[in-house]
Structure 1
Amino acid sequence: MWMMGETDVGQKRKSNQDTFLTEQLSGESGLLLVCDGMGGERGGAVASGLALSAAAESLRRSVGAGMNENSIRRALECAGAAANAAVFDAASQDATLHGMGTTLVGAVVQEDSAHFLHAGDSRAYLLRDDLLTQLTVDHTVVQMLVDRGEISERDAKVHPQRHYITRAVGVGEQLRYDIFSIDLLPGDALLLCSDGLYNYLSHEDLCALAAVALRCGSAKPLIDRANENGGGDNITAVLCRTANREK
């Protein structure tokens, strides 16, 4: 299993409130995490850092060899609760951090499966046979409007409320995450990213450049294109590839 990630402040922001992690867990599982903070220049960075650290620490303790899908999902549920509590408690104790929060998308990756934890509008994608498929569903106002049939996918890209998220880590005392699993085939790859990446690339470019990034062993092609297209937000991309198909 191969994993890597990169983050960049972008062209418009003064600070980077994205955080990411790639790590090998016990039992030969890989851990991928991306958080995109919100709540002011300080609050967003604090929230994403706290959520990332709490989720990672929880999963380090609970994920091991021989775990089945239900056990990993329970571990992800506990990690999500730990992340939410860490951010919410910090905001409750410091008035300057009130209202801060963060997105979170994470995956525990095994040889033949991947298990996801998601809240907000950071995304997870599957790249298989040169086809890129979005796995997560954005928790946003515009996605809710699309689901209701009130606006089209094209309208959603330019809607004035496209940045309004409906779920965020640490904003409330409780949070409901999306937790799901997929089967993996040899040669599959995963891309986890913040909205600063996918909002500045077409789906076709995202697919093509993810393949380039995998070949060159760096997320720089993705980051560079987002910056070339405006770089209006912090940009984070994390990639993971399972074992190659036998030739």
Structure 2
Amino acid sequence: MHFSVRTDIGRKRTFNEDQAAVFVRDNGYALAVIADGMGGHRSGDVASAMAVRLMGEHFNELNATMPESKESWNAWLDSMIRKVNQLIFEKAQSSPEHEGMGTTLEAAVIAEGNCYIAHVGDSRVYTITSETITQLTKDHSYVNALLASGEITEEEAEVHPQRNWIMRAVGSERDIEPEFYHVPLTKGDYLLLCTDGLSNKVEAEVMREIIVTENTLDDKVIQLIDLANTRGGEDNITAVLLASSDLGAGAV
């Protein structure tokens, strides 16, 4: 497994509230995390940085009895995200400058050909093969709720004035309910985690076309971010791309 992690402030924002990282264990297990913070007075970057750092610390502290099944990985992810949620919520409550802060959170554990994902918010996780791209996660957004209930069409969702409203975020409430996904990863598959600064600007099929080229993982991620910026870059743009191949930047 190889990976590339990159974040960009975009063309309109004055600071970057996105955070992302990949943490790797000696046994080859990896944890990819991405977070898009929100909150006034730069609190969004505090929330997203806390989420990524704390998830990485918990992963690196796993002892010899590591989870092995989907159920045990889901239980671990659920427990860790609830701990992170509590810490961010308490920090938000303790200081007026951090009041109301929160963050999206995608956490993907890659272990022995499997990927175990926990999801909160409207950042996304995709799997990509040479032929297909599949969005695994479902946005926890107001517009997605309207879409699911049939109140609006997909065309209306794309231009809805509240399309950026999210209904679930880590740290914004005392309790949190992550959603969980599992997908096998085979040689040649890609895993993409990204914030909405990318997914709002670049169509899924265009992402796939860029990702399946012969370029390095770093070059692919740079091309994705550059395209989002070319198309406006109104938001911060962050992507983590992992691949079971000999291409790329860091090796897992």
Q: Same fold (TM over 0.5)?
A: yes
**Residue 111 of structure 1: CA displacement?**
3.2
Q: Distance in 1 between matches of 2:212 and 2:39?
A: 34
Residue number in structure 1 paired with 2:223: 221
Q: CA RMSD in A?
A: 1.6
Contact 1:113–1:184 at 8 Å: present in 2 too? yes
Residue number in structure 1 paired with 2:239: 237
**Residue 110 of structure 1: CA displacement?**
1.8
Question: Cα gap change, 1:187/1:173 in structure 2, threshold over 3 Å: closer, same or farther?
Answer: same
Q: Distance in 1 between matches of 2:84 and 2:224?
A: 28
Partner of 2:133: helix, strand, or coil? Answer: strand
Contact 1:37–1:45 at 8 Å: present in 2 too? yes
What letter is aligned with 1:197? L
Q: Distance in 1 between matches of 2:86 and 2:149?
A: 32
Structure ranking higher on relative contact order (CA contacts 8 Å, 6+ apart): 2
What letter is aligned with 2:39? G
Contact 1:9–1:235 at 8 Å: present in 2 too? yes
Are 1:53 and 2:53 an aligned pair?
Answer: yes
Partner of 2:72: helix, strand, or coil? Answer: helix
Gap regions ≥5 residues in structure 2: 247-252
Contact 2:4–2:242 at 8 Å: present in 1 too? yes
Contact 1:35–1:51 at 8 Å: present in 2 too? yes
**Residue 88 of structure 1: CA displacement?**
0.4
Contact 1:125–1:132 at 8 Å: present in 2 too? yes
TM-score, normalised by the number of residues in structure 2 = 0.92
Question: Cα gap change, 1:63/1:71 in structure 2, threshold over 3 Å: closer, same or farther?
Answer: farther
**Residue 18 of structure 1: CA displacement?**
0.1
Greater Cα offset, 40-49 or 13-22: 40-49
Gap regions ≥5 residues in structure 1: none
What letter is aligned with 1:143? N
Structure 1 segments (4+ residues) deviating >6 Å: none
Residue number in structure 2 paired with 1:22: 22
TM-score, normalised by the number of residues in structure 1 = 0.93
Partner of 2:42: helix, strand, or coil? Answer: helix
Contact 1:139–1:166 at 8 Å: present in 2 too? yes
Q: Distance in 1 between matches of 2:50 and 2:127?
A: 27
Question: Cα gap change, 1:99/1:82 in structure 2, threshold over 3 Å: closer, same or farther?
Answer: same
Partner of 2:144: helix, strand, or coil? Answer: helix
What letter is aligned with 2:224? L
Q: Distance in 1 between matches of 2:226 and 2:22?
A: 20
Contact 2:41–2:97 at 8 Å: present in 1 too? no
Are 1:128 and 2:129 an aligned pair?
Answer: yes
Q: Distance in 1 between matches of 2:92 and 2:77?
A: 23
Q: Distance in 1 between matches of 2:101 and 2:222?
A: 29
Greater Cα offset, 107-116 or 25-34: 25-34
Residue number in structure 2 paired with 1:105: 106
Q: After superposition, what is the alpha-carbon deviation per residue over 1:121-153, rounded to whole angstroms, capped at 9, x for unaligned? A: 000000012311100000000100111011111
Residue number in structure 2 paired with 1:69: 70
Q: Distance in 2 between matches of 1:211 and 1:96?
A: 44
What letter is aligned with 1:24? V
Contact 2:19–2:49 at 8 Å: present in 1 too? yes
Partner of 1:23: helix, strand, or coil? Answer: strand
Identity percentage of aligned residues: 37
Alignment of 1:140-219 (within 5 A): 140-212=141-213, 215-218=215-218, 219=221
Partner of 1:40: helix, strand, or coil? Answer: coil
Q: After superposition, what is the alpha-carbon deviation per residue over 1:149-195, rounded to whole angstroms, capped at 9, x for unaligned? A: 11111211110110000000001111000022112222111000000
What letter is aligned with 2:172? V
